[in-house]
Amino acid sequence: MASVRELKPMDKLSKQLKQDAGMIEVEISDELDRRINASLRSVNPVRETPRRRPAVFWWASSLTGVAAALVLIAVLNARSERDLPEAMPETSPVAMASSPVTPIIEWNAESAMLTSPLRKELDDLQSDIDKARKKVRDDIGL
Amino acid sequence: MNDCDEQDLIEAAQAGSADAFADLVRNYRVRLLRFLMTRCASHADAEDALQDTLVASYRYLNSYDPRWRFSTWLYRIAIRNAHKLRQDNVVEFGDLQDEESDPMLQCIASSETENLWVCARRVLNDEVFAATWLRYAEDMSINDISQALDRSTSWTKVNLLRARKALESELNGQRQGAEAYG
């Protein structure tokens, strides 16, 4: 079933505004009519004629555009190279030993008693060193 | 005048016929003058503004965009001309309250009640008054009003609503005052 859309009736305020606008009585006097007609006849309408440009204009403008783009690219490249950091900034090492705030660590170390296998190994190593030293002396003729 | 006739007259006027243009704007002249009476400081200013509007619209008729209604275009020019004239004369909108010089008050037929447009001019600012006039006196659509005032449609809707509320509030106040003293 097709619904019939009712037109919204004009409300009281709208009606009153419309009616009161009509109460403002104006008329175009003969003198104003003559003035308007005379001024309209003296006016030359502005004609909007599209200006034709010579073909060279388009070539010149295209070349100018390309040149401007190249210059822009060159400038941007130069700027990006200049903006790169040349080298990492040198940092001076902080001397921890000389630092006045170096904490003093107290070592509570005790000498370890070497057990038998370690003593033996140390003696073997000492013996090897002595043998090697003797061999070197013999080789060089000392 | 229907749209076809109007379009024919516009084309003839664009071709340079002053007579066609005179026919085209004949029906708009009184409406424009009535509107200008509400915005100008004097009767003479309103007539000058009307003349300037018609001359400017004829001169630049070739720049008229047919997507707009012709009346919208005319009102846009009229609003600009009235504004320019007021700036030249350094007359503020609020100064148009003197009955001796106010062209709108001079043109209002005598009535027991205050004309709503006098009330509207008192409570609304210049631009909102114009929007209200175009809506209720000229039956323009929201889009046309927006184009005539060079405003967004949302601005137009919001300000028309505010104008209504302001007018209703003013009328209620007047009614209550009359009852209190009546």
CA–CA gap between residue B131 and residue B140 (Å, rounded): 9
Is residue B181's pLDDT more than 70? no
User: From the candidates A13, A17, A31, which should be mutated to test the interface with B, based on the most B CB atoms within 10 A?
Assistant: A17
- Who contacts B155 (Cβ-Cβ below 8 Å, separation ≥6)? B146
The answer to whether B36 touches B46, Cβ cutoff 8 Å, is yes
CA–CA gap between residue A39 and residue A36 (Å, rounded): 5
Q: Greater confidence, B96 or A123?
A: A123
Q: Where exactly are the structural domains of chain B?
A: 1-107, 112-182
- Who contacts A25 (Cβ-Cβ below 8 Å, separation ≥6)? B107, B108, B109
Is residue A2's pLDDT more than 50? no
Residue A40 has its nearest CB partner, among B18, B108, B109, at: B18
Topology of B112-182 in CATH? Answer: Arc Repressor Mutant, subunit A (1.10.10)
Q: Is B87 on the interface with A (CB under 8 A)?
A: no
- Who contacts B51 (Cβ-Cβ below 8 Å, separation ≥6)? A32, A35, A36, A39
Q: What is the DSSP letter of B66?
A: T
- The pLDDT tens digits of the residues spanning B69-82 come to 999 999 999 999 88
CA–CA gap between residue A103 and residue B129 (Å, rounded): 83
Beta-carbon pairs below 8 A across chains A and B: 92
Topology of B1-107 in CATH? Answer: Rna Polymerase Sigma Factor; Chain: A (1.10.1740)
Is residue A98's pLDDT more than 60? no
Q: Greater confidence, A51 or B136?
A: B136
Q: Greater confidence, A21 or A9?
A: A21
The answer to whether B126 touches B93, Cβ cutoff 8 Å, is yes
- Who contacts B65 (Cβ-Cβ below 8 Å, separation ≥6)? B73
pLDDT confidence band for A4 (50 / 70 / 90): very low
Q: Which residues in chain A are contacts of B47 at CB distance < 8 A?
A: 32, 35
Q: Give, in order, the Cα–Cα distances in Å from A117 to each of A45, A120, A129.
A: 121, 5, 18
pLDDT confidence band for A51 (50 / 70 / 90): low
pLDDT score recorded for residue B100: 64
